[in-house]
Amino acid sequence: MKKANKPRDQTIAIMIGSMVKKLIAQGQPVNRNNILYELEKAKTTSAGLPAKAMAHDAAERLRKAGTKAVG
């Protein structure tokens, strides 16, 4: 079992939340595809490697979460 990395998990949650707020501010629909688009855009436009890595990890987690059944 993978050990949890709480600070990293929190940072990823904050990054996803900031993308949601950005979409709301722009008047765009908030859905998985739009959030992924914003995360990918952040990954390519970020200057720092840690920001790129966090955006990449956040997008990967969001993609994986979409493949799991709820219930």
In this prediction, residue 21 carries a pLDDT of 97
Q: What is the mean pLDDT of residues 15-42?
A: 95
Domain extents in the chain: 20-61
Determine the angle formed by the axes of helices 32-45 and 6-26, rounding to 10 degrees.
110
Could you tell me if residue 27 is left (phi over 0), alpha (psi between -120 and 50 degrees) or otherwise beta? left
- pLDDT number for residue 1: 46
Residues in contact with 40: Cβ distance below 8 Å, sequence separation at least 6, in sequence order: 55, 59
DSSP string over 14-39: HHHHHHHHHHHHHT----HHHHHHHH
pLDDT class of 3 with cuts at 50, 70, 90:
low
pTM of the model: 0.81
* R_g of the chain, CA atoms, integer Å: 13
What are the tens digits of pLDDT across the range 36-70?
999 999 999 989 998 899 999 999 999 988 765 54
